[in-house]
Amino acid sequence: MGMWKGGGSWRNAGRSRKGAKTQSGKDAIYAHSLRLRAFAANSAPLVHYFTHGPTLAYRTYGHGPLAVLAFHGFGRTGADFAVLEHALGERCTLYAFDLHFHGQSPGYPERADVPFTPKELATYFTAFADKLNVPKVNLLGYSLGGRIALCLLEQAPQRIERVFLAAPDGLKTRPWYRGLAASKVGRALYKRFVVNPTVTHAIMRSLRGLRLMNERMFRFLMGQTDSRAKRQLVHDVWLSYRLIEPDLASVAANAQAHGIPVHLFFGTHDRVIRPAFGEHLRKYGPERITQQELPFGHALLTEELGRAIATHLA
């Protein structure tokens, strides 16, 4: 972007300020990513593995009596939860998993054709709770990991004590995603997208130009698909998890029937998973479901989140 020089128009000045704001947003996301890496590097816990059918890697943070199964966001790893150890480590032990295709966990490319089922995930994590020898576990899901946590609350509420969801995926239905993933033609398009994203990126730019997609969502999607490796990850995760679409009415009914508190956290400035999405779940069970906003965007795994979660453990 050019600098605003004397005699420039107000329109150019506005563009300059918009460009500065955009760059500031990118810098903030990059800085947050560096902080997460620093926390992970400083703690550097051993990576463990658990196999019950599939195998997943996990790390542990904290040494408290409450077992918390933690699930990260797309393209990340369980190491992101290191930032919460200071606030939660005395009360909780976090078992922070690397989801399938992420981090140290193995990939299962055949699952694009034979996807994971909700029952399969519930069986796996129930077996992990049995390994810990605990009757109930707590769940903590961020972004994509929130969809996993919602699925477990739907499938195995009798093994869950409480649930924390930070900017969770799974609160808003996506018919276009479900339709593409469910059909052979749609899955073929996904494979083509991995090799050549030109058409898809052109559509995204058109949607942004027509103001049918906001700037933050556009940058988020472009950032997740700007290399072949990232596009392959999108393909593998979206297709293998295509059956993990929790029914929110059932989720809320289970929380009510089993007395499970559900705490939602959103970033006030999040344009990827907006705070308003929380109402899609809360309308089914406001007595059991709380919602809180924190002064962030989508990058919500912060020390402030840890302190906010801790207030619900007192």
pLDDT digits (tens, 9 = 90+) for 96-144: 999 999 999 999 999 988 999 999 999 999 999 999 999 999 999 999 9
Whole-model pTM: value is 0.81
196 lies in a domain? yes
Of 199, 224, 244, the one marking the end of a domain is 244
User: 155 and 84 in contact (C-beta within 8 Å)?
Assistant: no
List of residues 6+ apart from 222 with CB closer than 8 A? 201, 204
| 38, 92: one domain | yes
- Position 69 scores a pLDDT of 98
pLDDT digits (tens, 9 = 90+) for 86-99: 999 999 999 999 99
| 159, 54: one domain | yes
259 sits in the region (left: phi over 0; alpha: psi -120 to 50; else beta) called left
Integer Cα distance of 153 and 139 in angstroms: 9
| 155, 74: one domain | yes
25 lies in a domain? no
28 lies in a domain? no
User: 131 and 59 in contact (C-beta within 8 Å)?
Assistant: no
| 152, 62: one domain | yes
Domain count, the chain: 2
| 272, 184: one domain | no
* CATH number for the domain that contains residue 308: 3.40.50.1820
Of 188, 223, 244, the one marking the end of a domain is 244
| 256, 314: one domain | yes
9 lies in a domain? no
Q: Which residue has the higher pLDDT, 277 or 195?
A: 277
Of 196, 229, 244, the one marking the end of a domain is 244
Q: Residue 273 sits in which domain range?
A: 33-173+246-314
261 lies in a domain? yes
286 lies in a domain? yes
What's the whole-number mean pLDDT along residues 275-299? 96
What's the whole-number mean pLDDT along residues 173-189? 68
Residue type (1 letter), 280: H
93 lies in a domain? yes
- Position 178 scores a pLDDT of 63
| 255, 268: one domain | yes
| 51, 138: one domain | yes
Residue type (1 letter), 245: E
| 50, 125: one domain | yes
Integer Cα distance of 170 and 277 in angstroms: 10
5 lies in a domain? no
Strands 160-166, 137-142: pairing kind: parallel
